[in-house]
Amino acid sequence: MGTRLGELVERLGGQLMGDPNIEIFGIAPLDGANGSHITFLANPKLRAQAAQTQAAALILSAADSAVIGTKYKGARIITDNPYAYFARGAQFFAALQAIPVKPGIHSSAVVDSDAQVAATAYIGPHVTIEADAVIADQCVIEAGCFIGRGARIGAGTHFFARVTFHAECEIGGSGVIHSGAVIGADGFGFANEAGAWIKIPQTGRVVIGDDVEIGANTTIDRGALADTIIEDGVKLDNQIQIAHNCHIGAHTAMAGCVGVAGSAKIGKYCTFGGAAMVLGHLTIADHVHISSGSMVSRSILEPGQYTGFYPLAKNADWEKSAAIVRNLASMREKIRELEKTINLLAKKEE
C-alpha cells in the first residue's frame, strides 16, 4: 500500500517541488532506492550520491537542493531537518504496513480482579498483572510481561515481550519498553556491620515521564526512600543500569551499556556514548556530552564534550606506554632533577 507524495507533504510538512500525484511505497537509503521509494539527504558528504539516486523523491535542505541543482531529476521535499523528516516518513510507512493489534486480554494472561485494564488495551499471552495496577487506553503489553501491584502504565505505551515492571512504579504515555528490561527492582542499599551487609529496604519507586524509550535488558532501580526519576523524552538503549535515586533530565539519551550509580543527577539534553559510567551522587549539567567508554568521576557543571578512555594501540606498544604510565611520577621526578641541573649550569654560565 502506498501513498501520494502530496498526501505525505500534507501530513509531514515541507515544501514539495514536483508532482504531488507520484505514488510512494516506502522509504529507502540513497543507494537502495528505486522509482517506488522516497529517500533523504542528511549528510552533505553524500550530495554526489543523492544526485545519482533512482528514488522518485528526495528529502533535502534548501542549501543541498541548490548545490545539486538539475543533476537530480525526481521530485523534492525541501525541509530544514531532512533527517527528522526521514524519521517521520519512516514512521508513516511503518504504520501503513503494521499488522493492527486487536484489543483484549489473552486467555492465558493472569490479571488480578482489582487491576484496571482499559478496553482498548492489548494484554498478550502469559502476562501477569497484579492488584491495583492501571493499564491505560491503547497500551500494548506483549507476551510474558509482569506488571506489579499498583503500577501505572500511561496511554499508548508499548511493552515488548518479557518486560518486568515492579509494584507502584509509573510510566507516562507513548512510551516503549523493550524485552527483558526490569523497572523497579530494589536498589543496591546495604549497611555494613562488622563486615556483613544489612539490607536497607528500597521503598521508593521509579517514576518515568512521557515519550520515554527503554532498551532491551536495561535495568532501572527503585529509590531507597525517595523515587528514581526519568523525565519526558529520555531514550535509553540496551543493557543500561540506572541505580536508585538517580534523576535523568528530559530528552537525555544514553547508548548501550551505560551505567549510572546511585543518586546521580543528570541534566536535560545530555548524551552518553556506549559504556560510559557515572559515579554516584554526582551532578551533570544540561547539554553535557560524554564520550563512549569514559568514566565520569566528578560533577560536570559546564556544558561540552568530555572524554576519558585509554587510547587503543598494538599490544606491544600498549605494554610500553602502560609501563610508563604506571611510573609517570618517577618520570616527573627525573624532569625536575634535570631542570635543577640545567638551572645550575645556566647560572654558572652567567
Of residues 113 and 349, the one with the C-beta less far from a copy of itself: 349
Burial of 175 (0-12, 13-18, 19+ CB in 10 A): buried
Q: Does 223 bind a copy of itself (CB under 8 A)?
A: no
**Beta strands 182-185; 196-199: pairing state:** unpaired
Instruction: Pick the binder of a copy of itself from 3, 59, 86, 139 (CB under 8 A).
Output: 86
d(C-alpha 76, C-alpha 69), whole Å = 11
Q: Does 62 bind a copy of itself (CB under 8 A)?
A: no
Check: CB of residue 75 under 8 Å from CB of residue 56: yes
Q: Does 4 bind a copy of itself (CB under 8 A)?
A: no
Helix (H, G, I), strand (E, B) or coil at 310: coil
Q: Which residues pair with 265 in a beta bridge?
A: 247, 283
Of residues 71 and 341, the one with the C-beta less far from a copy of itself: 341
d(C-alpha 327, C-alpha 30), whole Å = 52
Of residues 19 and 319, the one with the C-beta less far from a copy of itself: 319
Instruction: Pick the binder of a copy of itself from 36, 49, 61, 203 (CB under 8 A).
Output: 203
Q: Which stretch binds a copy of itself (CB under 8 A): 55-63, 66-74, 115-123, 195-203?
A: 195-203
Interaction residues for a copy of itself, span 117-136 (CB under 8 A): 124-126, 128
Interaction residues for a copy of itself, span 266-325 (CB under 8 A): 268-269, 273-275, 277, 279, 291-298, 304-315, 317-325
Helix (H, G, I), strand (E, B) or coil at 334: helix
d(C-alpha 89, C-alpha 27), whole Å = 7
> Cβ 11 to a copy of itself, closest distance in Å?
14
Instruction: Pick the binder of a copy of itself from 76, 122, 123, 148 (CB under 8 A).
Output: 148
Of residues 31 and 73, the one with the C-beta less far from a copy of itself: 31
Count of CB atoms within 10 A of residue 347's CB?
Answer: 8
Q: Could you identify the residue written with the cell 616527573?
A: 332
Q: Does 237 bind a copy of itself (CB under 8 A)?
A: yes
Q: Does 49 bind a copy of itself (CB under 8 A)?
A: no
Residues contacting 31, CB < 8 A, separation 6+: 49, 53
> Cβ 333 to a copy of itself, closest distance in Å?
11
Of residues 7 and 232, the one with the C-beta less far from a copy of itself: 232
Amino acid, res. 195: G
Instruction: Pick the binder of a copy of itself from 14, 74, 144, 172 (CB under 8 A).
Output: 144
Which set of grid coordinates corresponds to residue 54?
A: 533512482
Q: Could you identify the residue written with the cell 535488558?
A: 217
Instruction: Pick the binder of a copy of itself from 15, 34, 52, 91 (CB under 8 A).
Output: 91
Binding mask 257-276 for a copy of itself (x = CB under 8 A): x-x-x------xx---xxx-
> Cβ 44 to a copy of itself, closest distance in Å?
16
Task: Give the closest residue to 49 by CA, choosing from 68, 74, 24.
Answer: 68
Of residues 71 and 281, the one with the C-beta less far from a copy of itself: 281
Q: Does 195 bind a copy of itself (CB under 8 A)?
A: yes
Count of CB atoms within 10 A of residue 14's CB?
Answer: 19
- Give the DSSP H/E element, type plus range, for residue 41: none
Q: Which stretch binds a copy of itself (CB under 8 A): 3-11, 52-60, 67-75, 238-246?
A: 238-246
Check: CB of residue 273 under 8 Å from CB of residue 296: no
Of residues 143 and 155, the one with the C-beta less far from a copy of itself: 143
